[in-house]
């Protein structure tokens, strides 16, 4: 039986194990969306992962969701990422940048621009801004002629990611951000070719993936999805058909992997596993749910046919997660208070397991 510690071929990479670090926004970038030396240390501490997927990175300035997140749309941002990718590679790791366009989950106080979305429907909840949480504004609905430009922004950022030394990119198609807004049936009320039918609702995701594959190659392109997820007020009609059609298109593009969140029942998820011929990264628990991914959930999903398992919170608080899982050492708990603040505290301060005599 496959274990977490077997190697796996992913695109052109050989991963030494099947433990993936899940993408986690940490809001510690410098002004201008620049990666920092602390970010290099943070990711390098976790380089024993089979693959690291970074925090969400904005592919354009209007695509920024939270303040303090890094970007991949300026030359300065590319230069700032280079020491991060070099540090991870020096420690023997591999990393993909998660490209995250926030769409309507954004604020003019953060970007200086009115957010855009498929339709003029605001997100539910409160968004982070430089002055604290605020209600999300009503986005400006993109004109039909503008949509392709936003799809291409992922591809341009992907090219910059490779320039910065990343091994590939993951398109953030989950959790209520722009791609997920297009997939939805209540954030997307469009009557043009990007809304309504399943074929139309997946079009933006497919255009973004196609452009990215053309820019950097299928072996360097992954896609994260949250079938049926309800983040930021998203609702999706026809979940099984929507994702089955999307998976068919991603299979045609031969992207390196699909990264699924456990936002639907096992029946839907297992159906997608059967329909997806490529590598599947499974994130086995509900994002921000009370229970975090651990060894039991990972083994369960490897048994159900996942190829790789992503760990979020456990990796945040255990830089040596792979070793702890391999040897059965206890996991350190995560401090929620420092998820999105605290500088190096709660970021670089989680130690590797301390063996005592």
Ligand X SMILES: Cc1cc2nc3c(=O)[nH]c(=O)nc-3n(C[C@H](O)[C@H](O)[C@H](O)COP(=O)(O)O)c2cc1C
Site membership for ligand X, residue 24 (CB under 6 A) = yes
Site membership for ligand X, residue 261 (CB under 6 A) = yes
User: In angstroms, what is the minimal distance from the CB of 342 to ligand X?
Assistant: 12
Q: How many Cα atoms sit within 13 Å of 357 on the Cβ side? A: 0
Residue in 175, 210, 221, 318 binding ligand X, rule: CB under 6 A: 175
User: In angstroms, what is the minimal distance from the CB of 51 to ligand X?
Assistant: 13
Catalytic residue, chosen from 42, 43, 177, 194, is 177
Closer to ligand X by Cβ: residue 210 or 292: 292
| Binding segment (CB under 6 A) for ligand X, from list 138-146, 193-201, 311-319, 346-354 | 311-319
Q: Under a CB-based contact definition with an 8 Å cutoff, are residues 269 and 260 in contact?
A: yes
Q: Return phi, psi of residue 262, to 5°.
A: -85, 60
**Token output for 306:** 């996942």
DSSP for 199-266 reads HHHTHHHHHHHHHHHHHH-GGGEEEEE-TT--GGG---SSHHHHHHHHHHHHHHHT-SEEEEES-S-H
Closer to ligand X by Cβ: residue 15 or 195: 15
Q: Under a CB-based contact definition with an 8 Å cutoff, are residues 261 and 229 in contact?
A: yes
| Binding segment (CB under 6 A) for ligand X, from list 106-114, 139-147, 280-288, 342-350 | 280-288
| Binding segment (CB under 6 A) for ligand X, from list 19-27, 117-125, 129-137, 227-235 | 19-27
User: Residue with the closest Cβ to ligand X?
Assistant: 312
Q: Would you report the helix, strand and coil content of the chain in percent, each value rounded to 5?
A: 35, 15, 45
177 a catalytic residue: yes
**Token output for 337:** 């208070």
What is the three-class DSSP state of 160? helix
Residues recognised as catalytic:
177
The contact set with ligand X (CB under 6 A) reads 22-25, 55-56, 98, 100, 172, 174-175, 224, 261, 283, 285, 287, 292-293, 311-314, 339
């Amino acid at each position: 039986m496959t274990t977490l510690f077997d190697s796996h071929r992913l695109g052109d990479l050989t991963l030494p194990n099947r433990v993936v670090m899940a993408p986690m926004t940490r809001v510690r970038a410098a002004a201008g969306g620049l990666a920092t030396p602390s970010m290099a240390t943070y990711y390098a501490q976790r380089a024993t992962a089979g693959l690291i997927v970074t925090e969400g990175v904005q592919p354009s300035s209007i695509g920024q969701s939270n303040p303090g997140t890094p970007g991949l749309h300026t030359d300065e941002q590319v230069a700032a990422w280079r020491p991060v990718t070099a540090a991870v590679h020096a420690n023997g790791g591999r990393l993909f940048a998660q490209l995250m366009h926030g769409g309507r989950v954004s604020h003019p106080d953060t970007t200086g621009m009115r957010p855009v979305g498929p339709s003029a429907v605001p997100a539910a909840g409160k968004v982070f801004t430089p002055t604290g949480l605020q209600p999300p504004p009503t986005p400006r609905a993109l004109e039909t002629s503008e949509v392709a430009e936003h799809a291409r922004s992922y591809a341009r950022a992907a090219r910059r990611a490779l320039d910065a030394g990343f091994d590939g990119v993951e398109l953030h198609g989950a959790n209520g951000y722009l791609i997920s807004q297009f997939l939805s049936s209540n954030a997307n009320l469009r009557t043009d070719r990007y809304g309504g039918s399943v074929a139309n609702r997946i079009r933006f995701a497919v255009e973004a993936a196609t452009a990215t594959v053309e820019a950097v190659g299928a072996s360097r392109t992954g896609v994260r999805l949250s079938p049926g997820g309800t983040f930021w007020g998203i609702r999706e009609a026809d979940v099984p058909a929507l994702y089955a059609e999307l998976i068919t298109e991603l299979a045609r593009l031969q992207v390196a992997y699909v990264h699924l969140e456990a936002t639907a029942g096992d029946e839907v998820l297992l159906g997608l596993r059967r329909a997806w011929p490529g590598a599947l990264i499974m994130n086995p628990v509900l994002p921000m749910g009370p229970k975090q991914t651990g060894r039991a959930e990972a083994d369960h999903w490897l048994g159900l046919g996942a190829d790789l398992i992503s760990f979020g919170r456990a990796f945040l608080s255990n830089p040596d997660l792979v070793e702890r899982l391999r040897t059965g050492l206890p996991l350190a708990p995560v401090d929620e208070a420092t998820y999105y603040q605290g500088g190096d505290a709660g970021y670089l301060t989680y130690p590797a397991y301390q063996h005592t005599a």
